[in-house]
Structure 1
Amino acid sequence: MTYSGSNYRGSASVPPAGGGGGARVAAAAAGGGSTRRGLIGSGIGLVASIAATGGGFAIWSTAKTTDADLDRPFDLEAIPDEDRPEKLNAALNILIVGSDHREGNDEADARSDTNIIMHVAEDGTEAYGVSIPRDLYVHIPEYADASNYPEYTGSDAKFNAAYAWGGVPLTVLTIEEFTGVRIDHVVEIDFAGLVQVVDALGGVTIDIEAADADGYITDEPGVESIHGDHMFFPAGPTELTGEQALDYVRQRKQWNRGDFARMQHQQDLIKAIMDSALSAGVLTSRSTLTSFIDSTSDAVKVDTEFNVVSTAISLMDLRSDDLVFMTTPNLGTDTIGGESVVVYSYDLENPSNDNPEATSLWDAIREDTVGAWVEQNADLVGGGEE
């Protein structure tokens, strides 16, 4: 079982066919404070937890107003129940979608570069994030309401084809079909939203991973962006603004693990956001809290049934160290149908035949026994290295 290939460079799914000298980022001072009460990743989870733990009627009212004013374009209740897995317990499964939509661009052309199932245990003491590779080769269910190319649904393709063809609803259906895990809520955040969240917290500190792929190794340990101003990020703990954090977590070609490295860096960013929310004094300053809520309430989209306040209550007892990340177990990279993909299984109808780790993980999420699964599969936990 492996997570990575050699400098794997996936491409966005589409319908079947018929330099140097960049700006620099300063490194942060070493060290850090003690572990404190954490927040589950994503902009809305952050807003929810901060609102709930901030205290005071005015703050609570602000949180309720924010909840009412959120953009709620995703109606999971409209999906026929017979097409969805049964829910077995009160554990919470939130799908976090990070799209590459940019302001001024057609939203229909956006892709889902980040897909994380955030599982919060029923007792509220444990939380787990499972990244789904965007190029994981899976079955995309038939979906007559797909906004783009409904005729291509019902076929095998890269996972992010689901988002490209049918947006969040088809993405949810695809996940639920190959995992058997029922998705309770959805949070979507795009490039601009991510920048807003990070900047509202005064930035984040991320432990930058040095490039190791041929042709991308720099004289000084670190990584140079291949986008925009080709910013250079020195290896080690580094303070980043929202734009800088976005730039860093978009990179993938500079590491031998390719997109798997990028997924790990996205996970690192979620934890960094959690830490910054605490160190920025958001929980102790009403003005800081209000500013944060005001600046991030329009940064995310959620489903129609997501109650921010009740979710906040369920997350109040979690600490940042309680959040464990992993990547969907897979068989590495290969070429299928002329495309380089991440192989989920060579037998998509019976994936347990060659990918038992994945099927056992989905069983554990459904049954809310992920802690035991992690203990038994410790080598599959973390950033996705071989």
Structure 2
Amino acid sequence: MTYSGSNYRGSASVPPAGGGGGARVAAAAAGGPTRRGLIGSGIGLVASIAAAGGGFALWSTANRANADLDRPFDLDAIPEEDRPEKTNEAMNLLVVGSDHREGNEEADARSDTNIILHVNESGTEAYGISIPRDLYVHIPEYAAASNYPEYTGSDAKFNAAYAWGGVPLTVLTIESLTGVRIDHVVEINFDGLIQVVDALGGVTMDIEAADADGYIGDAPGVTSIHGDHYFFPEGPNLLSGERALDYVRQRKQWARGDFARMQHQQELIKAIMDSALSAGVLTDRGRLTSFIESTSDAVKVDTELNVIGTAINLMDLRSDDLVFLTTPNLGTGDEGGESVVLYDEETGASLWEAVVDDEVGAWIEANPKDEGE
């Protein structure tokens, strides 16, 4: 049974084949405002830095960026009777990473990254719960689906929800599966991710060596199956936006497949946070302003998300307060002749109940990772 955690002991944790609980992200560099930040939004992260002493010019830039954000997602337009009730003040923010790039039809985009960021009611704890794109789920019937409403009301891989009905259907599918009310949405596409990483001067990631059966390589590391087939040597690498994106898109070179990819996506979130909060960015006003403006161009959010206000409320959260988990599952299986990730209904129900009740920390304590696996 796979539901969260793994033998991996890096910045984040997702399952290869069993265990439970979650692993804390390694602490960011110690000291003052360099450890402060909003988890989940680059603009909010920088806004909290500005509020902590970045000065009026940075604050004005962040505030302007918040006002200028692209806000195409109106969650209030989703029929209320189809949505779970909100029972407390904890925040559930859905982070969607799509494979849309400039020059491609947006209707053909897929959501390869889906993470529910749950911040507890007191703003002292944060949890990132990854949803495998191949998780076999029920996609609710939704006549307003933007692309293929006729396909809705059926069982399919999770990322079909985005392909058929974009963010609204993705939110409905999550809420139907989990009973968790999604409060806000942040979406970033490939081009946006590249912009953010490059605005930071790159990010450092600890590259995991490929270990899949049949993988052939001349040195420890991993060779990309995309584009120019770039080789990433094992260990710490400073990556540009294009190369960071290339690395976190890979999955076939590891025995854990998509679970390895989710792990690397979680590591990239940590790497972006660390880079944005590094002393070099904080002391270079031009670079920090560039990051704020690049982030505002790179993301789409819902109509109600106040990034500045959220950043101030969560300013005391630190990078080591973020715990990564993955949706409870039973590993891969076969449905209709295609490989899917099978949902663990029993364990999943207990995790989502903990999210609804704002007791995720207690759930992790009650579901410790098996150190023997």
AA paired with 1:358? Answer: G
Q: Distance in 1 between matches of 2:285 and 2:370?
A: 41
Q: Distance in 2 between matches of 1:80 and 1:51?
A: 38
In the TM superposition, what is the alpha-carbon distance from 1:140 to its structure 2 partner? 0.4
CA RMSD of aligned residues (A): 2.1
The match for 1:171 is: 170
2:122 counterpart of 1:120: no
| Distance verdict in 2 for CA 1:99–1:50, change over 3 Å | farther
Map 1:180-329 onto structure 2 (within 5 A).
Answer: 180-329=179-328
Q: Distance in 2 between matches of 1:221 and 1:37?
A: 35
Q: What is the TM-score normalised by the length of structure 2?
A: 0.89
AA paired with 1:328? Answer: T
8 Å CA contact 1:139, 1:174 repeated in 2: yes
AA paired with 1:379? Answer: K
The match for 1:72 is: 71
In the TM superposition, what is the alpha-carbon distance from 1:39 to its structure 2 partner? 3.9
* Deviation beyond 6 Å, 4+ runs, structure 1: none
8 Å CA contact 1:52, 1:309 repeated in 2: no
The match for 1:63 is: 62
CA offsets 1:200-241 (integer angstroms, 9 cap, x no match):
111111111110002224231111101111111111111111
AA paired with 1:135? Answer: D
Q: Distance in 2 between matches of 1:171 and 1:332?
A: 22
8 Å CA contact 2:95, 2:186 repeated in 1: yes
8 Å CA contact 2:43, 2:65 repeated in 1: no
| Distance verdict in 2 for CA 1:219–1:319, change over 3 Å | same
In the TM superposition, what is the alpha-carbon distance from 1:46 to its structure 2 partner? 3.3
AA paired with 2:60? Answer: S
CA offsets 1:277-320 (integer angstroms, 9 cap, x no match):
12253334432321211222110000000001111012210111
In the TM superposition, what is the alpha-carbon distance from 1:250 to its structure 2 partner? 0.3
Q: Distance in 2 between matches of 1:45 and 1:377?
A: 32
AA paired with 1:2? Answer: T
2:358 counterpart of 1:359: no
The match for 1:159 is: 158
Q: What is the TM-score normalised by the length of structure 1?
A: 0.86
8 Å CA contact 1:37, 1:319 repeated in 2: yes
Gaps of 5+ in 2: 4-14, 18-27
The match for 1:40 is: 39
The match for 1:379 is: 369
| Number of residues of Structure 1 aligned to a counterpart in Structure 2 | 350
| Distance verdict in 2 for CA 1:193–1:280, change over 3 Å | farther
8 Å CA contact 1:148, 1:164 repeated in 2: yes
8 Å CA contact 1:185, 1:303 repeated in 2: yes
8 Å CA contact 2:36, 2:316 repeated in 1: yes
The match for 1:2 is: 2
AA paired with 1:367? Answer: D
The match for 1:23 is: none
The match for 1:19 is: none
